[in-house]
Amino acid sequence: MPDILNEFLFLLQRLNWLSLLDLFLVAMVFFIVLMLVRDTQAMVLLRGAFLLIILMALLTSAVNLPAFSWLVRNTLPALVFAIPVIFAPEIRRGLERIGRAGGGAVVFRSNPAGRLELQKMIKAVVTAVDRLAGRQHGVLIVLQRNESLNEYIQTGVYLNAAVTSELLMQIFYPNTPLHDGAVIIADNRIIAASCVMPLSASGILTRTPDRQMGLRHRAALGISEASDAIAVVVSEETGSISIAQAGRMIRRLDADRLENILIAFYYPGQDKERQAGLFNRLFSRSTHEDRPEE
């Protein structure tokens, strides 16, 4: 232990502005990695790996253990090669998130006709969701934005129909052929129904009350993690409305709040900061308050 303290003091004496910049860059790399894996199962695994490395380093430096030191020296390089395999899904999602950064949202300000169609689509979705929620019918509607959802469209039944509240209500009516799975809306049209969505691997699902969410909510989170799409979901058990985007979920919404959030996502423009603040306020008020849902 005295040797460790002496080495630490020696390093402090040799610090200069270049060394501080070096340390800052290393800290930024670790910060970015932790931000990319937060709220995922990899966070728990990464925490355990860091703790194990620190314990092994302390043991090998504080106590003379030749055999254990040899084992650590030969094991750690193998762990470096194992990290990309262990964290492959998280690395993929993180790179996708970086690629989406700065991509922006769909904007229709310069196209009055497109904006009118978008408003009609949002109104039809909100109306259908509100009515289905009142009847406690399960709903999962995915709204495509910049990223294509073709791979998920191919898992369902192709429709390419106009978005109307009546059609959405008919699709999600219990025991109809298309009520299971998700409806995908793109370019203001219902492209497909009964689509299969990826289930979320988010770490928040391991904590109450979100760990008891049903498949619709997990699918809504999953597609929001895998793309920049917006997912609207209605609980079949309680009839409550939720919306998922970028791996986060806002719950216990009413029709007015749902419409405001959808408009905020599709019309960033000069009101981007105000609308982002709206989403953050709604998100901070809505997490971890609901009963277990499906």
Name beta bridge partners: 249: 244
DSSP code for 208: T
Query: Which domains are delineated in the chain?
Result: 2-100 (no CATH), 112-286 (3.40.1700.10)
- Residue 113 pLDDT: 60
Cα–Cα distance measured from residue 240 to residue 140, given in angstroms and rounded to the nearest whole number = 12
Taking the CA atoms of residue 149, residue 158, residue 261 and residue 257 in that order, the dihedral angle to the nearest 10 degrees is -150
Measure the CA dihedral 38/39/40/43, to 10°.
50
Instruction: Give the residue, 126 or 266, on which the prediction is more confident.
Output: 126
Contacts of 73 (CB under 8 A, 6+ apart): none
Q: Give, in order, the Cα–Cα distances in Å from 99 to each of 93, 102, 167, 217, 227.
A: 10, 8, 35, 25, 11
| Choice among 96-110, 207-221, 239-253 with the minimum mean pLDDT | 96-110
CA end-to-end span of the chain: 55
What's the whole-model pTM score?
Answer: 0.63
> 128-161 pLDDT, tens per residue?
999 999 999 999 999 998 888 999 999 999 999 9
Could you report the per-residue pLDDT of 224-272, keeping only the tens digit for each?
888 889 999 999 888 899 999 888 888 889 999 999 999 888 775 434 4
